[in-house]
Structure 1
Amino acid sequence: MKKVTLLLALSLAGFSSFAQNNDTNGPVGVRSSTDYGTGSTGSRNTGFGIKGGFNLADVYGDDKKNFTNGSNYKSFHAGFYGQYGFNNRISIQPELLYSRQGFEGNSTKTTTTGSSTTTTTVNERRLDYLQLPVLVVFNIFDNISIHAGPQVSLLTKVVEDGKERKIADEGNAYGYSYSSFDYGVAAGAEARIGPARVGARYTAGFAEMIKDQNLASTGNKALSDIKNSIFQVYLGIGLTQ
């Protein structure tokens, strides 16, 4: 985690220095962030584009300790963003993202079929979300900005140890259900060179991921008080400005 953060900091510093040099004496054909055409608001921070990158996902909460041998889940996200600038400093940026995340941590579940009882251990959980963050963006410098805002997410798919399962627990087949809706906050920083952008973001979910737990079938350990925690690094490209 420290290595990823250090790499991001160095990348942002490099992008900032490179963009500033290009603003003053850069070669022909290299565009700085101020080369964007202005929209009806007179701001260069208006347009839309595509983005995608790396997810380092995990969970937090009081019941995280009840999952043993836990570790991060590494995956990806991708989608679209739109940006509307009120001026050269402040803009609003909604996004629509597909985000594959989850976590690793052992828990047991007991399944009873007739007179037969089976106990299994679940380790890896993959959760696919459609995310809608709405961010307020503030330009600290011409090519460096910070952003923060609320985010809502819809859970579309759950895979446990490579096997897809139903999000809702019907008939206590799994011992618990997953919450199909999540909400939280996102915050991060971004650097831009012309239409390209690179950034990082942390998102904390506030909704409990697991609900309707049947303690008798899940080892009598509470598992419900866990929430999404995800660090993202991404690249983006503006399609219009």
Structure 2
Amino acid sequence: MKNVCIAVVIAASSLLSVSAQNTNPSQDVQFGVKGGVNFSTITGDDFNDLDSRTSFNAGFIAEIPITDRFSIQPEVFYSGQGFDIREIDQDNVFDNDQNIEYQLDYIQVPVLAKLYLIDGLSIEVGPQFGFKVNEEIDSKPNSDGGDTTISSENSSVKDFETSIAGGVSYKFASGFFISGRYTYGLTNLFDDDSLFKNVDAKNAVAQVGVGFMF
């Protein structure tokens, strides 16, 4: 809960700060909702060929026009991340419920610079701040049960991460938009005082989604 509160404060502060600098008062700040699919994994010199975890993201978004073609876009959303420890082939006698996932779930707060190339089509890039809200191993990710929660006392994964996010989106006149994005961790995944402190590991997430601006 503490991490969630911190994330909301950062998002609100970013929104108020940039809104005060709005040099294009003819265009109002827009707010919206978004959701989509995550394909996440862990990358680094010490991690090779990990299967990605498929999960979801959902949250809130704002767009603050600075000029006709340039905006600042702060967001706050829940993001299911991590990777597959073991993935069973569909031709196996077992089904996909036998997959084992290492789940790392975050509240993510990106603050993106958004440049419109043509009407509706934009590219986005900027920093993203992640607050870990859940860590567990799930042996039955497609059904109930199978969850083994890892407490903060037993975790080697940092509670906070910084990433770089970049993507492209298209917003229709109705306010509906579609987007694709990739985020890559800038900070190491593991705590500096853990057994894995020298292990090179960073979050990497590809996202596709839809949303609506009001």
On whether the aligned pair clears a TM of 0.5, the verdict is yes
- Aligned pairs for 1:37-76 (under 5 A) are 41-43=25-27, 46-65=29-48, 70-76=50-56
Structure 2, unaligned runs of 5 or more: 1-22, 87-99, 139-146
Contact 2:178 2:211 in 1 (8 A): yes
Query: 2:195 matched to 1:214?
Result: yes
- d(CA) in 2 for partners of 1:208, 1:40: 39
Aligned residue in 2 for 1:90 = 70
User: Structure 1 residue 143: deviation in Å?
Assistant: 1.0
- d(CA) in 1 for partners of 2:53, 2:43: 13
- d(CA) in 1 for partners of 2:194, 2:61: 36
Aligned residue in 1 for 2:209 = 234
Structure 1, unaligned runs of 5 or more: 1-38, 107-122, 170-175, 216-221
TM-score using structure 2 length:
0.73
Q: Which runs of 4+ in 1 moved over 3 A?
A: 212-215
Aligned residue in 2 for 1:79 = 59
2:113 aligned residue (107, 111, 136): 136
- d(CA) in 2 for partners of 1:43, 1:149: 22
Aligned residue in 2 for 1:12 = none
**Superimposed CA distance per residue, residues 25-75 of structure 1 (whole angstroms, 9 cap, x where no aligned partner):** xxxxxxxxxxxxxx962236x31100000000011111114xxx7200000
Contact 1:63 1:223 in 2 (8 A): no
Identity %: 33
- d(CA) in 2 for partners of 1:206, 1:193: 33
Greater helix share, structure number: 1
Aligned residue in 2 for 1:167 = 152
- d(CA) in 1 for partners of 2:118, 2:166: 17
- d(CA) in 2 for partners of 1:154, 1:125: 17
Query: 2:134 matched to 1:154?
Result: no
Sort the Cα spacing of 1:223 and 1:74 in 2 relative to 1 into closer, same or farther, 3 A.
Answer: farther
Contact 1:80 1:95 in 2 (8 A): yes
Contact 2:42 2:50 in 1 (8 A): no
**Superimposed CA distance per residue, residues 195-222 of structure 1 (whole angstroms, 9 cap, x where no aligned partner):** 100010000011222234437xxxxxx8
Aligned residue in 2 for 1:201 = 181
Contact 2:39 2:206 in 1 (8 A): yes
- d(CA) in 2 for partners of 1:168, 1:226: 20
User: Structure 1 residue 99: deviation in Å?
Assistant: 0.5
- d(CA) in 2 for partners of 1:184, 1:134: 11
- Please provide the CA RMSD for this pair: 2.3
Sort the Cα spacing of 1:40 and 1:138 in 2 relative to 1 into closer, same or farther, 3 A.
Answer: closer
SS of 2:46's equivalent?
helix
User: Structure 1 residue 105: deviation in Å?
Assistant: 3.2
2:170 aligned residue (191, 197, 204): 191
Question: Greater Rg, structure 1 or structure 2?
Answer: 1
- d(CA) in 1 for partners of 2:201, 2:24: 45
Contact 1:42 1:87 in 2 (8 A): no
SS of 2:115's equivalent?
strand
